[in-house]
Structure 1
Amino acid sequence: MPRSILMSTCLGVLIAAPAFPQDSAPLVDIITINAHRTTTDGSTLDAQEMASHMTPDTTAVLARLPGVSAISNGALSGQVQYRGLFGSRVNIRLNGRAFESGGPNLMDPPMHYAPAALLEQITIDRGIAPVSAGPGLAGGLDARFKSIDFSESDTLSHATEFSLSGQSIDEGWSRSAMSGIATERFRVYAFGAQESGEDYSAPDTPVAGTRYDRLIYGLGAGFRSGAHEIALSFRRNETGPTGNPQFAMDIRYVDSDFIEFDHDMSLAGWDVSTRISWNEVEHAMNNFSLRPAPASMMRFRETIATVEHQAIALSASRDFAGGALDLGVDHAFATHDVTITNPRNADFFLNNLPDIDMARTGAFLEWQGPLGSWQAELGARLDAHTAEADEASTGPAVPMMPVMLANMFNMSERQWDDVTVDAVARAWHPINDTTLLRVGIARKSRVPTYLERFAWLPTPASAGLADGNTYVGDLELEPETAWIIEAGLDYHAGPAFIRPALFYQQVDNYIQGVAFDGTVGVIDTPVEMVSMMNGDATPLRFANVGAELYGFDGDFGVQLSPTWRLDGAFEFVRAKRRDIDDNLYRVAPASVSLALSHDAEHWSAGIETVWTADQKDVSFTNGEPTSEGYVVWNLNARVNGPLNSVIDLRVDNLLDEAYAPHLSGRNRNSGSAVGLGAPIPAAGRNLGIRLSWSH
Structure 2
Amino acid sequence: MSPICLQHSCALIALSASLSCLAPTALAQSSQPPLIDVITVSSPQLDNPARDQLDPAAQPIVASPDTTQIIARLPGAAAVSNGALSGQLQYRGLFGTRLAIRINDQAIASGGPNLMDPPLHYAPSVLVDRIEIARGVSPVSNGPGLGGGFDVTLKSGRFADTPQFSLSHDLSLAAHSVDDSTAVGGLVGLANDTIRLHVLGSLETGGDRDTPLGRIGGSAHERGVYGLVAGWQAGPHELTVEGRRNETGPTGNPPFAMDIRFIDTDTGRIAYTGTFDAARLDLSAGWSDVGHAMNNFSLRPAPASPMRWRETFAYAESHTLAASLTIPAMGGELRAGIDRVDTDHDVTITNPMNPNFFLRNLPDIAISRTGGFVEWTGEMIGRWQGELGLRVDHHEARSGLASTGSAVPAMPGMLAMAANNADRDWQASTLDAVARLWRPLTDTARLRLTLARKTRAPGYLERFAWLPTAASGGLADGNTYVGDTGLVPETAWIAEAGLDWANDHAYARPTIFIRRIEDYIQGVPFDSTPGVADTAVEMVAGMNGDTTPLRFANVEAELYGLDADFGYQIDSHWRLDGTISWVRGKRRDIDDNLYRIAPPHVRLGASYDAESWTVTLESLATARQDNVSLANNETETPGQVLLNLYGRWDMRPGVALAVGVENLLDQAWRDHLAGVNRNSGSQIGLGERLPGNGRSIGLRLTVRG
Relative to the length of structure 1, the TM-score reads 0.97
Instruction: Map Cα deviations across residues 267-302 of structure 1 (whole Å, 9 max, x no partner).
Output: 353100101100000000000111110011110000
Correspondence 1:524 to 2:534: yes
| Partner residue, 1:337 | 346
Separation (CA, whole Å) in 2 of partners of 1:100 and 1:45: 39
1:1-32 alpha-carbon deviations (Å, 9 max, x no partner): 9542689x999743351224445431111110
Aligned partners of 1:374, 1:365: CA distance in 2, in Å?
20
For residues 540 and 11 of structure 1, what CA distance do their matches in structure 2 show? 43
**2:302 matched to which residue of 1?**
293
**Residue pairs, 1:305-454, within 5 angstroms:** 305-372=314-381, 373-454=383-464
Counterpart of 2:510 in structure 1 is 500
- 2:18–2:606 CA contact under 8 A, matched in 1: no
- Identify if the C-alpha distance between structure 1 residues 36 and 666 changes in structure 2 by more than 3 Å, giving closer, same or farther: closer
- Whether the aligned pair in 2 keeps the contact of 1:84 and 1:573 (CA below 8 Å) is yes
| Aligned equivalents of 2:304, 2:352: Cα separation in 1 | 14
Q: Which residue of 1 aligns with 2:36?
A: 28
Contact preservation (8 Å) 1:504, 1:550: yes
Does residue 1:584 correspond to 2:594, yes or no? yes
Match of 1:201 among 186, 202, 210: 210
Partner SS for 1:4: helix
Per-residue Cα deviation, 1:28-84 (whole angstroms, up to 9, x for no partner): 11110238966868689989547x531111111211111111000011110000100
* Displacement of 1:513: 0.5
- In structure 1, the residue corresponding to 2:336 is in which secondary structure? strand
- How far apart are the structure 2 equivalents of 1:595 and 1:326? 41
Query: What amino acid is aligned across from residue 298 of structure 1 in structure 2?
Result: M
Q: Cα offset for 1:115?
A: 1.2
SS in 1 for 2:502: strand
Report the counterpart of residue 469 of structure 1 in structure 2: 479
Structure-1 separation of matches of 2:206 and 2:58: 23
Q: 1:199 to 1:45 in 2, by over 3 A?
A: farther
**Contact conserved, 2:65 with 2:126, CA < 8 A, in 1?**
no
Cα offset for 1:595?
Answer: 1.3
Q: Which residue number in structure 2 is paired with residue 126 of structure 1?
A: 135
What amino acid is aligned across from residue 117 of structure 1 in structure 2?
V
Determine the structure 2 residue equivalent to 1:266.
275
Q: Is the 8 A contact 1:12 1:608 kept in 2?
A: yes
1:17 correspondence with 2:26: no
Indicate yes or no: 2:193 matched with 1:184: yes
Q: What is the match of residue 229 of structure 2?
A: 220
Residue in structure 2 matched with residue 645 of structure 1 by the alignment: 655
**Over residues 133-190 of structure 1, what are the superposed CA-to-partner deviations in whole Å (9 max), with x where a residue is unaligned?**
1110111200001111111110112101222222211111111131011111100000
Residue identity in the other structure for 2:35: L
Quick one: structure 1 residues 142 and 37, their matched pair in 2 at CA, closer, same or farther if it must change by over 3 Å? closer
Could you say if the C-alpha distance between residues 46 and 304 of structure 1 is closer, same or farther in structure 2, counting changes exceeding 3 Å?
farther
Q: Paired residue for 1:556?
A: 566
How many Å separate the matches in 1 of 2:54 and 2:394? Answer: 36
CA distance 1:310–1:12, shift in 2 (3 Å) = farther
User: Quick one: distance in 2 between partners of 1:680 and 1:313?
Assistant: 41
Match of 2:395, SS?
strand
The answer for the alignment partner of 1:275 in structure 2 is 284
Q: Which runs of 4+ in 1 moved over 4 A?
A: 9-13, 35-50
Counterpart residue identity of residue 465, structure 1: L
Say whether the 8 Å CA contact 1:613–1:630 is kept in structure 2: yes
Q: Residue 673 of structure 2 aligns to a residue in which SS?
A: helix
Tell me, in whole angstroms, the C-alpha distance in 1 between the residues paired with 2:47 and 2:529. 60
Closer, same or farther: CA 124–11 of 1 in aligned 2, 3 Å: farther
Residues 1:657 and 2:663 aligned together: no
**How is 1:91-170 mapped onto 2 (pairs within 5 angstroms)?**
91-170=100-179
The Cα offsets for residues 586-616 of structure 1, whole Å up to 9 and x where unpaired, read as 0000010011112211211111000000000
Gaps of 5+ in 1: none
Query: Which letter does structure 2 place at the counterpart of 1:434?
Result: T
Q: Provide the secondary structure at the position in 2 that maps to 1:531.
A: helix
Choose from 506, 527, 549 the match for 1:539.
Answer: 549
TM-score (norm 2): 0.96
Distance 1:17 1:89 in 2: 27
Q: Are the aligned partners of 1:469 and 1:539 in contact in 2 as well (CA < 8 Å)?
A: yes
* Bigger Cα displacement from structure 2, 220-229 vs 520-529: 220-229
- Seen in structure 2, the aligned counterparts of structure 1 residues 527 and 138 have a Cα distance that, compared at 3 Å, is same
Give the percent of matched residue pairs that are identical in Structure 1 and Structure 2: 50
- Residue identity opposite 2:499 in structure 1: L
Alpha-carbon spacing, 1:47–1:662, altered in 2? closer, same or farther (3 Å): farther
Deviation at 1:321, TM superposition (A): 1.1
Whole-angstrom distance in 1 between the partners of 2:17 and 2:304: 39
C-alpha distance 347-45 of structure 1, shift in aligned 2 (>3 A): farther
2:71 aligned residue (56, 62, 70): 62
For the 8 Å contact 2:62–2:69, the answer to whether it is kept is no
Opposite residue 622 of structure 1, the aligned amino acid is N
Report the equivalent of 1:668. 678
Q: 1:422-444 CA deviation, whole Å, 9 max, x = no partner?
A: 00001001111121110000000
5+ long unaligned stretches in structure 2: none
Change (3 A) 1:187 1:84: same
The alpha-carbon deviation at position 95 of structure 1 amounts to 1.1
Q: Say whether the 8 Å CA contact 2:159–2:192 is kept in structure 1.
A: yes
Report the 3-state secondary structure (helix = DSSP H, G, I; strand = E; otherwise coil) of the residue aligned with 2:179: coil
SS in 2 for 1:445: strand
1:388 partner amino acid? R
> Residue 24 and residue 227 in structure 1: after superposition, are their counterparts in 2 closer, same or farther (change >3 A)?
closer
Contact 1:11 1:61 (8 Å CA) reproduced: no
* Closer/same/farther in 2, CA of residues 107 and 693 from structure 1, 3 Å limit: same
Q: Partners of 1:645 and 1:41 in 2: how far apart? A: 18
Q: What is the CA RMSD across the aligned residues, in angstroms?
A: 1.9
Q: Over residues 211-266 of structure 1, what are the superposed CA-to-partner deviations in whole Å (9 max), with x where a residue is unaligned? A: 01011110000011233211000111100111110011111111001101001112
The residue identity in structure 1 corresponding to 2:647 is A
**Alignment check: 8 A CA contact 2:17 2:616 kept:** no
Match for 1:682 among 686, 692, 695? Answer: 692
Q: Is the 8 A contact 1:16 1:45 kept in 2?
A: no
Pick one of 82, 86, 92 that aligns with 2:91: 82
- The 3-state SS of whatever aligns with 1:662 is coil
Once the two structures are TM-superposed, the CA of residue 393 in structure 1 deviates from its matched residue by 1.2
Secondary structure of 2:646's match? strand
**Distance in structure 2 (CA, Å) of the matches to 1:191 and 1:554:** 36
3-state SS of 1:664 partner? coil
Amino acid at match of 2:536: P
* In 2, Cα distance between equivalents of 1:297 and 1:209: 20
> Match of 2:631?
621
Q: Find the aligned partners of 2:118 and 2:54 in 1 and give their Cα distance.
A: 26
